């Protein structure tokens, strides 16, 4: 089993839709979780950290489910500018050690 797994997509959704991605991780001792956004051929950028209590930033909500070992990202009221690849990042244990998922591609359609 891969350390971090994501559905590669693509997820094609209309503008205004709500879309959710999940990411599963294999190491139950993992402590740090992040969602990064990557535009085509550009560098990844932090979208949000994922806290145990869940967190929200505008239209974006991140959740952590430790029992089932997954994190989720919910995007409400999708915009064309949300089209990108979303990378799940997990610390599987170890100081400043992270593992990147292969990403989920989102395409928001007019």
Partner 1 sequence: EAQVTQNPRYLITVTGKKLTVTCSQNMNHEYMSWYRQDPGLGLRQIYYSMNVEVTDKGDVPEGYKVSRKEKRNFPLILESPSPNQTSLYFCASSSLPPLRTSGSSYEQYFGPGTRLTVT
Which residues of this chain interact with partner 1, rule CB under 8 A? Answer: 8, 29-32, 34, 41-46, 49, 87, 91, 93-98, 100-103
Nearer to partner 1, 32 or 72 (CB): 32
Q: Exposure string (b/e) for 15-42, b if CB count within 10 Å is 16 or more?
A: eeeebebbbbbeeeebeebbbbbbeeee
Min CB(27)–partner 1 separation in Å: 10
Min CB(85)–partner 1 separation in Å: 10
Contact 22, 101 (CB under 8 A): no
Nearer to partner 1, 18 or 52 (CB): 52
Contact 20, 28 (CB under 8 A): no
């Amino acid at each position: 089993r891969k350390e971090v797994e994501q559905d590669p997509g693509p997820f094609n959704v209309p503008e205004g839709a709500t879309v959710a991605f999940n990411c599963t991780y294999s190491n139950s001792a993992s402590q740090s979780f992040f969602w990064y956004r990557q535009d085509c051929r550009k560098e990844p950028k932090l979208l949000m950290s994922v806290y145990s209590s869940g967190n929200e930033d505008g239209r974006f909500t991140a959740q952590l489910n430790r029992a089932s070992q997954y994190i989720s990202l919910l995007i409400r009221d999708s915009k064309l500018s949300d089209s990108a690849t979303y990378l799940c990042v997990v610390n599987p244990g170890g100081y400043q050690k992270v593992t990147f998922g292969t990403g989920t591609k989102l395409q928001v359609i007019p």
